[in-house]
Amino acid sequence: MSTLLDKIIAEKKIEVRDLKQQGLSTEERSDDLVISDFKKAISNHGQINLIAEIKYASPSQGIIRQFLDPIAIGYIYYSVGAVAISLLTDQKFFSGDLKNMAALKRNFPLPVLRKDFIIDEIQVRESYINGADAILLIASILSKQQLQDLLGITRSLGMAAIIEVHNEDEMQKAIDCKADIIGINNRNLDTFKVDLQTTHKLATLAPEDCTLISESGIDKDADIYALKKTRVNAMLVGSAIMKSNNIAKKVIELIDAGKH
Q: Which residues participate in catalysis according to the annotation? A: 53, 55, 115, 164, 185, 215-216
Alpha helices in the chain (DSSP H): 4-22, 38-41, 70-80, 100-107, 121-129, 144-156, 168-176, 197-203, 221-227, 239-242, 247-259
DSSP 3-state of 24: coil
What's CA 3's distance to the chain center, in Å?
21
Could you tell me what percentage of the chain is helix, strand and coil, using 3-state DSSP and rounding each to the nearest 5?
A: 40, 20, 40
CA 57 – CA 70 distance, rounded (Å): 14
Measured distance CA(2)–CA(210) in Å, rounded:
34
DSSP state of 81: T
From CA 247, how far away is CA 122, in angstroms rounded?
34
What are the φ/ψ torsions at residue 160 (nearest 5 degrees)?
Answer: -100, 165
